[in-house]
Structure 1
Amino acid sequence: MTTLASLLHPDAFLSPLAIEEAVQRALDEDLGRAGDVTSVATIPETTMAHAIMVARQAGVIAGLPLAVAIFQKLSPDINIHAHARDGATVAAGVNVLTISGPARAVLAGERTALNFVGRLSGVATLTSDYVRHTAGTNMRICCTRKTTPGLRALEKYAVRCGGGFNHRFGLDDAILIKDNHIAVAGGIKPVLERARAHIGHLVKIEIEVDTLSQLREVLDTGLADVVLLDNMDIATLTEAVALAKGRVVLEASGGVTQGSIAQIAATGVDYASSGALTHSAPNFDVALDIDA
């Protein structure tokens, strides 16, 4: 029997509670108050169906546990066999799930299941392309908080399925001092001093800088763990790496695209973050075919 745990990426965590919440919310949205009136009106209750979820394009699969949870919630009599697991690279035309059971339940869950798999596989596939461009370097590609409202945990999980890494999940798990924080707090040194005095010993401090002079000021304080180099060109990033000399972790952000990621990785920065991984990932083409 296919279980949710057996479909999850082995090196990425996705809470069962997050799956349950997302699935319930999505089914409530689609089924509304009256359920799938089309299937109830046209398909006898005892009719059984055999369906195959197939990848219409090559890429990295993610979201299969959500698809399984959807069908299992709609009917305990549905049987599912998985041909892949999250994080797997598949070719176009490959079957990823086989679903058998009451036809009404299969049809009612079809679109919601495809929406999750299409969205998350799109994020994973785009991420894997970014990662491919960093081959031969030590740089890691990260996502950001530019996620679909309500789907952050799922989309960040999909980034891991594609071989990327996660930046902070929210405002509560790390300190990231942006330019507006610096402006309100009165400068780089005051804002870092306040942050360092406030946090516990396990919390990291990252601060954003726009220029090399700001980077020098941060380095002089010795109070930051990570420096975000915002919208710097390749030459400036290279100079920033030489200036830091490993004293802080360096993260490039802004203008991190499929066209620039290889050059950014070659500068020697430790991380590059891109909101595009989640906010601009094309939907992955996946379909559900009924085997008559």
Structure 2
Amino acid sequence: MVDLDLNRSELEALLAEDAPWGDLTTAGLGLGHRPARIDFFARADLVVAGIRIARGLVEVAGGDAEVLVADGDPVPRGTPLLSARGPAGALHRAWKQAQTTLEILSGIASAAHALVEAAARGGRVVPVACTRKTLAGARRLQIGAIVAGGCIPHRLGLSETVLVFEEHRRFLPDVPLAEMAARLRRVAPEKKLVIEVASPEEAASAAAAGFDVIQLEKFAPAEIARTVALLADRHPRPVLAAAGGIGPDNAAAHVAAGADMIVTSWPYGARPRDVQVRLTPDD
């Protein structure tokens, strides 16, 4: 499980980004020390992500927060998510950063959850993995959000996973796939070897070369089924990962065709899920 949390210095940096020299409006109206209460509600059905970050923002700003749900919880519209009390200046300072974090990360988590459910309609339960195509600096949070929605990370970085792309193979046009696999096993003997291919025939060649996972880039379901047939006599068969352009509308078809897992970036483009906020006096 990826920890969807931030340390104090990270939370302080988020607050400073929004109010580097204080809250001009709240201070100007003389409201900063008034007792206040803030409540966050789901304005639509959603899968929660970022709730501990929201709590942390409120607490670092100077409020006392109570979390009412957990990351990964699917909740219906109207569900209370977080409640806090404190000086109005503190709650006004944390309000928008906490709300926006919840909305964006819950949007990603909700999309991830929808994709997992869609893939399951293919008749088999397979892992749905999300790529590292995240916003620079926000990978930790976006990966945490997809995990909250039921997906798994595909690869977290270049240092973690061996994945041979066509862009690598172009530099070694005369090197057979089996030799590439042998080189990689010598330098990374504890790693699974993954390769991306563009046709069922390439997949068969990669399997014969000894690759452990074959990423089927933009394969139609019929091409996945043909790949499964080509590798039917191979035991153990490499893991077949369907990748490229996969969302809720076509995930089930890829699973039904024989994919062992789905690889996608689709949840990262999800619209934020609306979170309603009520900030009131607490006299």
The TM-score normalised by the length of structure 1 is 0.89
SS in 2 for 1:287: strand
Alignment-derived partner of residue 269 in structure 1? 259
Alignment-derived partner of residue 188 in structure 2? 199
Amino acid at match of 1:216: A
Q: Which among 131, 154, 162 is matched to residue 144 of structure 1? A: 131
Single out whichever of 242-251 and 187-196 deviates more from structure 2.
Answer: 187-196
1:288 aligns with 2:273: no
CA gap of 1:149–1:225, structure 2 versus 1, over 3 A, is same
8 Å CA contact 1:19–1:66 kept in 2: the answer is no
Alignment-derived partner of residue 208 in structure 2? 220
User: Alpha-carbon deviations, 1:116-162, whole Å to 9, x = none?
Assistant: 11111000000111111122413111111111111111111111111
Between the aligned partners of 2:19 and 2:2, the Cα distance in structure 1 is 29
Q: CA deviation at 1:22?
A: 4.4
User: Alpha-carbon deviations, 1:28-72, whole Å to 9, x = none?
Assistant: 32122x121221111334211111101111010110010011111
Alignment-derived partner of residue 80 in structure 1? 65
Single out whichever of 245-254 and 116-125 deviates more from structure 2.
Answer: 245-254
Alignment-derived partner of residue 86 in structure 2? 101
Q: CA deviation at 1:115?
A: 1.4
SS in 1 for 2:271: coil
Q: Which among 24, 40, 55 is matched to residue 68 of structure 1? A: 55
**Residues matched between the structures, number:** 274
Q: CA deviation at 1:204?
A: 1.6
Between the aligned partners of 2:279 and 2:87, the Cα distance in structure 1 is 12
8 Å CA contact 1:208–1:230 kept in 2: the answer is yes
Q: CA deviation at 1:21?
A: 5.6
Between the aligned partners of 2:178 and 2:264, the Cα distance in structure 1 is 27
Between the aligned partners of 1:40 and 1:172, the Cα distance in structure 2 is 48
Displaced runs of 4 or more, over 6 A: none
SS in 1 for 2:128: strand
Single out whichever of 18-27 and 256-265 deviates more from structure 2.
Answer: 18-27
Quote the sequence identity (%): 27
Gaps of 5+ in 1: 1-11
1:172 aligns with 2:159: yes
Amino acid at match of 2:187: H
- Kindly report which structure 2 residues correspond to 1:247-258, keeping only aligned pairs within 5 A, or say none: 247-258=237-248
CA gap of 1:285–1:102, structure 2 versus 1, over 3 A, is same
Between the aligned partners of 1:236 and 1:182, the Cα distance in structure 2 is 22
- Kindly report which structure 2 residues correspond to 1:22-171, keeping only aligned pairs within 5 A, or say none: 22-32=10-20, 34-75=21-62, 78-135=63-120, 136-171=123-158
CA RMSD, aligned part only? Answer: 1.7
8 Å CA contact 1:22–1:151 kept in 2: the answer is no
Q: CA deviation at 1:163?
A: 1.0
Single out whichever of 224-233 and 184-193 deviates more from structure 2.
Answer: 184-193
Amino acid at match of 1:29: E
Between the aligned partners of 1:143 and 1:19, the Cα distance in structure 2 is 25
8 Å CA contact 1:52–1:98 kept in 2: the answer is yes
Between the aligned partners of 1:150 and 1:28, the Cα distance in structure 2 is 17
CA gap of 1:275–1:20, structure 2 versus 1, over 3 A, is farther
8 Å CA contact 1:118–1:286 kept in 2: the answer is yes
Q: CA deviation at 1:198?
A: 1.4
1:209 aligns with 2:197: yes
Amino acid at match of 2:254: I
